[in-house]
C-alpha cells in the first residue's frame, strides 16, 4: 500500500483518475504556507463521492491523498506550461485560483524542494497510473482513461463568465478515437450544458497517456462545481449531486461500452 495515493481495483478495461481530489498537506510544508493555503480551496471537492458508483461497475479508480497545493499531478514534471500563452498554475503552485499567495514570505518551494516533491508524490502516482493502464491494455486490449475533475463555475483568472456544466477535453482529438467522443455527444445531457475542447482541452494526464493508435483512449471531464455544491461554502448538495450523478453514470456506462467494443 502506498501512502501517497489510493488505487482501487476493478474488473473492466477502464480507469478513473482523480488527481486533484486530495486534501492533505504534510506538516513540514504546511508550516510554510498561508492560512488561505491551508483551506485547500482549489480542491476538486467530493469527486470520489460523485464517482462512488464506479466500484460497483468494476472500474479501477486512483486518487491522491495530498493536495494539489503540494504538487499538481496533472502538470508536466518539467514545469512546462499546460496552456501556452494563458494564465497557468505551476507544478508546485505558488498562488491560488483567486491569485492569493500560498506561501509565507520567502517560503516558496526551491528547485530542490520541487524535485523532492516530484520524487515523493508525483512519480508514485504516475507509476501506478501507467502500470495499471499497461496491465489493463494487456488484459483487455482496449483501455479507457477518464481523468475526473471539477472547478468553481466562475474563475476569472482562467475564463470569462460562467463555465459550462460538463467540459470534456481530448487534446483537440489527439487523446482518443473520435468515435468514442461521438458516442458521448449522442447522450442527452439536459438540463446541463456540455462542451468539448473549449477552455479545458485535457491536462498532462490526458495528453501524456492518451494513445488511441495503441488502444489507450483518454478523456478529461471538468465538471462545474455549481452542479453539485453550494459554491459559497463548498458544501455538498445531495439533491443537486444526485441529479448530476445520473449523467455521470451515463457517461461512464457509455465509456465502458466503448471499451468492450472490438
Residue 44 has pLDDT above 60, yes or no: yes
Q: Residue 91 and residue 95: Cα distance in Å, rounded? A: 11
pLDDT at 156: 82
65-69, 96-100, 208-212, 222-226: range with lowest mean pLDDT: 96-100
pLDDT at 160: 87
Q: What is the mean pLDDT of residues 182-192?
A: 96
pLDDT at 75: 94
Residue 142 has pLDDT above 70, yes or no: yes
Residue 51 has pLDDT above 90, yes or no: yes
Backbone φ and ψ for 196, nearest 5 degrees, come out as -135, 130
Q: Residue 88 and residue 41: Cα distance in Å, rounded? A: 17
- Give the alpha-carbon dihedral of 20, 21, 25, 30, to 10 degrees: 60
Q: Which domain holds residue 155?
A: 5-259
pLDDT at 124: 97
Mode of pairing for the β-strands spanning 216-224 and 143-151: parallel
pLDDT at 207: 96
Number of C-beta neighbours around residue 87 at 10 A: 13
Three-class secondary structure of residue 247 per DSSP: helix
Could you tell me the CATH number of the domain that includes residue 194?
3.40.630.40
The side-by-side arrangement of strands in the sheet containing 60-64 is 5-8, 60-64, 14-17, 143-151, 216-224, 166-169, 194-196
pLDDT at 86: 63
For the chain, give the percent of residues with pLDDT over 70: 96
Q: What is the number of domains present in the chain?
A: 1
> 171's torsion region: left (phi>0), alpha (psi -120 to 50) or beta?
left
Amino acid at each position: 500500500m502506498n501512502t501517497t495515493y489510493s488505487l482501487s481495483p476493478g474488473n473492466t478495461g477502464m480507469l478513473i483518475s482523480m488527481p486533484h481530489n486530495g486534501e492533505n498537506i504534510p506538516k513540514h510544508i504546511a508550516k510554510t504556507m498561508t492560512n488561505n493555503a491551508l483551506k485547500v480551496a482549489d480542491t476538486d471537492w467530493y469527486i470520489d463521492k460523485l464517482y462512488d458508483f464506479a466500484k460497483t461497475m468494476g472500474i479501477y479508480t486512483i486518487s491522491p491523498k495530498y493536495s494539489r497545493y503540494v504538487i499538481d499531478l496533472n502538470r508536466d514534471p518539467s514545469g512546462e506550461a499546460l496552456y501556452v500563452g494563458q494564465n497557468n498554475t505551476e507544478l508546485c503552485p505558488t498562488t491560488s485560483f483567486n491569485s492569493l499567495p500560498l506561501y509565507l514570505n520567502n517560503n516558496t518551494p526551491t528547485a530542490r524542494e520541487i524535485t523532492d516533491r516530484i520524487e515523493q508524490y508525483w512519480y508514485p502516482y504516475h507509476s501506478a497510473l501507467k502500470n495499471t493502464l499497461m496491465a489493463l491494455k494487456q488484459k483487455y486490449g482496449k483501455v479507457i482513461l477518464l481523468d475526473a475533475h471539477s472547478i468553481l463555475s466562475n474563475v476569472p483568472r482562467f475564463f470569462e463568465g460562467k463555465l459550462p456544466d460538463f467540459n470534456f477535453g481530448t487534446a483537440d482529438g489527439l487523446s482518443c478515437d473520435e468515435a468514442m467522443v461521438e458516442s458521448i455527444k449522442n447522450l442527452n445531457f439536459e438540463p446541463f450544458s456540455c462542451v468539448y475542447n473549449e477552455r479545458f482541452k485535457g491536462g498532462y494526464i490526458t495528453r501524456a497517456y492518451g494513445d488511441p493508435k495503441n488502444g489507450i483512449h483518454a478523456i478529461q471531464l471538468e465538471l462545474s462545481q455549481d452542479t453539485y455544491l453550494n459554491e459559497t461554502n463548498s458544501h455538498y448538495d445531495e439533491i443537486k449531486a444526485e441529479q448530476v450523478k445520473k449523467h455521470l453514470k451515463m457517461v461512464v456506462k457509455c465509456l465502458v461500452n466503448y471499451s468492450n467494443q472490438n
